[in-house]
Structure 1
Amino acid sequence: MRTQAMAASFAALVAAAGAAPPPASAPVMTPATAVAARTDRRPVAGGLYDAAAGKTFISWGGQYEDNYVQAYDHRSRTWSAPVLVAGGDNDSHNYPTMVQAADGHLLVFRGLHNKELWVARSPKPHSIEGTWTDVQIPAGLGATYPMPVRTADGTLFVFIRETAGDFDPGYPTDTRPMKYVRSTDNGLTWQSSASLTGDRWAIAPLGRADNMNEVYVGQLRYEPATLLHGERIGIVYTLAGGGPEGHLHDRYHRNIYYATFTPADLHFHAADGHDLGTTVDDADQEAHLKVVDTPLQTVNPRSPDYISLVGSTLGAWPFVVWMRLDADGRVHDEAALWSPLGGWRNREVTTGVRVRDMERLDATTWRVYGTDDAGTPGITTYRLTGGTRWRFESAIATPRAVQRIEVIADHRDPARILATGASSDRDVAVADGDVYVAGAPGR
């Protein structure tokens, strides 16, 4: 009866949410012009609003992927100058991601690709001013793609990927599992997931016959505790590797997977609540975590895309949004919703849109931000209701093309999203992209 009641309530909310008219375009600010390099940053931890300071803080990668932060003062409606907090080691993987510790200090993380994890800490709480400290986190050896999350009690987690073969020649180049580090003292000291659980890695699909042993997490999303579930972190990811050609790095992509991580016990769970313990192996993910099974493609083989999005409806039923490429290179956007009535159900929702990030609007409706697949200037927004119902909402004009978008944590308009402009060259020595910040459509 409870499942039937939830289904009826869900249907009613979906119908009601679809009636809202599309809002007007959002105002766009340009905190920095012609300074951003290309980046591989996923839609995680690009910026945050600090209510105590009355400021929004953003982070972005400049020339050589050096890490910068800026502040927007909501009282004076002015931007600070960019502040350099750390070097980027000339690699687009070494993007800055930022969270605020419970003591008010800002922390900016970067991975020196396949080598080290570093954290830069603001000298004062609730401020970017002054000389930042910059220290290595030894527990994060081998880090790539740092994705930080702060939980309700102030505990900090940073999920990272390790290239196992760089530290043990017995592993081929396409063995790249996930692990994490944890801090319970506002980022001053850290422990590795291996020391906390005894497992060398957290998500490690090793020894697959198709050589798809690399994990590409598309997005992490923190979800506070509700009446239906405890505090958790939603995770969506795809696999990569050499496929039938042997052990090659990132030659092919395959499949979409969903899991949750519970900070309280360090366990991973499937959408149906199945407890996988503190580590996920290939058998676990194939039996419990697979959302969509996609074939290996010889044309446009890196499909699904690196970026995918994760959320939930009614605070309980998870969904993912992901992109695949067809033989002509055109993007197809798909969404998959899990329910206790039928498990995962996937459908195509649109084409030609590169989804970048999304934000929850109500119990069943999310706003998705995207860019044109052709790389033209501007941002488009869409309403996604019930996990799979999609409609156009608005267009946000930008002077130049946008490469990455992150929804700012705890945002306050007019600083709701951070949009990093596309650089004219893939080389991070070239940094001529703009940095944009926009408010909600209709504001």
Structure 2
Amino acid sequence: MSRLSSLLALLMLIPVAPAHARAEGFTVQTPATSVAARSDRRPVAGGVHDPVARKTFISWSGRYEDNHVQSYDHRTGTWSAPVKVGEGGSDAHNYPTMVQAPDGHLLVFRGMHNVELVMSRSPRPRSIEGAWTERVISRDAATYPMPFVAPDGAVYVFFRETSGDLDPSVPTDTRPMRYVVSHDSGKTWRTSRELTGHPFVIGSTSRADNMNEIYIGQLRPERDGRVRIVYTLAGGGPEGHRHDRYHRNVYYTWFDPRNRHFYSAAGHDLGTQVDDADQEQHLKVAETPLTVPGGVKSPDYIQLVGVTAGRPFVLWFTGDPDGGPLHNFLSRWTGTRWETREVARGLRTREMEPLHGGTTWRVYATTQDGAPGVRTFLVRDGRWTADAVIPTPKPVQRIELITGFRDPARVLMSGASSARDVAIADGDIYVAGLKR
């Protein structure tokens, strides 16, 4: 098949919104132009809305992955200039994630890849102005920080530990999940090891297939305090120990900050640690082959999780064995088991949000070919339909729903850089929302 024929086939498989729905209701702002570098950020904690200050705060990675923040004043409809709050060390893993502590201060976290978990704190509550302070809150070979604030005000940061960097005798593909907790708005911290007695909270150390790396695709806090988590495994496979050679399977769990226990979709209480036996018996959503289809890690690093009518569902995608379009799947918990079906092809699902009290979800996706713009889709009762197309002048790389958003600042969309080299930062920063 020729390159043109492959592209045409790909485009035919992407559900296209009706012409009248394109960009309907959405407005797009560009707070910063030609500043975004390549980033590995997951769809977690990209920004927050402060109803007291009537401002929205966002965070993003610039050149060399340096961490920046900006604020939007809803009274004036204007954006501040970017403020640099931390060095990124030229590593795409060191992206900023942001929460607002109960005392009003903004906290930005980055995982200095496989080394430290670093926190930057705003000098004043409800503001990004002034000189931010910085401190290391964990030296446990931390990567991929995923923060949230529990209903009781506790600030959690989940992160992945690269165990071999702490103990050289541990294989490189042993990388479980841990967390740290603060009950005083980030002033002091305790580790999951101190709180639970376990060396990790999700993971394994001795799988026969060496798939002992956890890749959380998304962590989604809910108003009732539950934290929904979807993840996949990675590792060296049967050939031996190697970091991230293969991906395999999709798993779902939820975390209760009140007792720090994990639960399955069926309600099994797994206690304060999820091990391999737990995930295989209670948490597996879908089984996928231990292969690299079409040269693509599969399932992808990003998976999405939500709940409707009290039952969880996840969206995820895989590569094609022949190098063709990506395959997009929707898995739903029926009350007794997981049901999975393919809903689209050629899309990279990036983020989603609940609508109408959670009976419907809007999915934000980019196309496999990296074209500009964001396609949106609706999921209701397991049905997948095309919705609006949000136009952007340049391609989008990452999308995060802004915590507690207020339109027109609903989602943060980081533009794709033209190169993998983090010294090149020419992507735009977009914020989209509904017109007010």
The alpha carbon displacement at 1:333 in A equals: 0.8
AA paired with 2:319?
A: L
Say which SS state the counterpart of residue 279 (structure 2) adopts: helix
Partner of 1:76: 76
Moved more, 239-248 or 96-105: 239-248
> How much is the aligned-residue C-alpha RMSD, in angstroms?
1.2
AA paired with 1:128?
A: I
Percentage identity across paired residues of the two chains: 60
In 1: Cα distance, 2:72 partner to 2:318 partner: 36
AA paired with 1:36?
A: A
TM-score calculated relative to the size of structure 1: 0.91
AA paired with 1:132?
A: W
Is structure 2 residue 124 aligned with structure 1 residue 97?
no
The alpha carbon displacement at 1:117 in A equals: 0.4
The alpha carbon displacement at 1:298 in A equals: 4.0
Is structure 2 residue 370 aligned with structure 1 residue 375?
yes
In 2: Cα distance, 1:99 partner to 1:141 partner: 21
In 2: Cα distance, 1:424 partner to 1:146 partner: 25
Deviation beyond 3 Å, 4+ runs, structure 1: none
Partner of 2:380: 385
Q: Is the 8 A contact 1:149 1:158 kept in 2?
A: yes
Is structure 2 residue 50 aligned with structure 1 residue 56?
no
Q: CA distance change for structure 1 residues 406 and 298 in 2, over 3 Å: closer, same or farther?
A: closer
Say which SS state the counterpart of residue 288 (structure 1) adopts: helix
The alpha carbon displacement at 1:25 in A equals: 5.3
In 2: Cα distance, 1:162 partner to 1:434 partner: 31
Alignment partner for residue 262 of structure 1, among 241, 256, 267? 256
Partner of 1:309: 304
Q: How many equivalent residue pairs?
A: 413
AA paired with 1:127?
A: S
Partner of 1:198: 197
In 2: Cα distance, 1:349 partner to 1:109 partner: 35
The alpha carbon displacement at 1:339 in A equals: 2.2
The alpha carbon displacement at 1:329 in A equals: 4.3
The alpha carbon displacement at 1:224 in A equals: 2.4
The alpha carbon displacement at 1:244 in A equals: 2.1
Moved more, 361-370 or 112-121: 361-370
Q: Is the 8 A contact 1:25 1:395 kept in 2?
A: no
Say which SS state the counterpart of residue 423 (structure 1) adopts: coil
AA paired with 1:438?
A: A
How big is each residue's C-alpha offset from its partner over 1:122-147, in whole Å with a ceiling of 9 and x where there is no partner? 00100000000011103x52110000
Alignment partner for residue 358 of structure 1, among 345, 352, 357? 352
In 1: Cα distance, 2:285 partner to 2:272 partner: 20
Say which SS state the counterpart of residue 194 (structure 1) adopts: helix
Q: Is the 8 A contact 1:333 1:348 kept in 2?
A: yes
AA paired with 1:172?
A: P
Q: Is the 8 A contact 1:252 1:301 kept in 2?
A: no
Partner of 2:86: 86
Q: Is the 8 A contact 2:140 2:166 kept in 1?
A: no
Say which SS state the counterpart of residue 276 (structure 1) adopts: coil
Partner of 1:426: 420
How big is each residue's C-alpha offset from its partner over 1:173-209, in whole Å with a ceiling of 9 and x where there is no partner? 1001000000000011100000000000001122111
In 2: Cα distance, 1:91 partner to 1:412 partner: 32
In 2: Cα distance, 1:200 partner to 1:278 partner: 11
The alpha carbon displacement at 1:170 in A equals: 2.0
Say which SS state the counterpart of residue 204 (structure 1) adopts: coil
Q: Is the 8 A contact 1:421 1:433 kept in 2?
A: yes
AA paired with 2:70?
A: Q
TM-score calculated relative to the size of structure 2: 0.93
Gaps of 5+ in 2: 1-19
1:6-85 matches, cutoff 5 A = 22=21, 24=24, 26-85=26-85
Alignment partner for residue 333 of structure 1, among 328, 343, 349? 328
Gaps of 5+ in 1: 1-20, 226-230
Partner of 1:244: 238
In 2: Cα distance, 1:201 partner to 1:149 partner: 19
In 2: Cα distance, 1:255 partner to 1:155 partner: 31
Say which SS state the counterpart of residue 69 (structure 2) adopts: strand
Partner of 2:316: 322
In 2: Cα distance, 1:298 partner to 1:373 partner: 17
In 2: Cα distance, 1:100 partner to 1:258 partner: 27
Say which SS state the counterpart of residue 286 (structure 1) adopts: helix
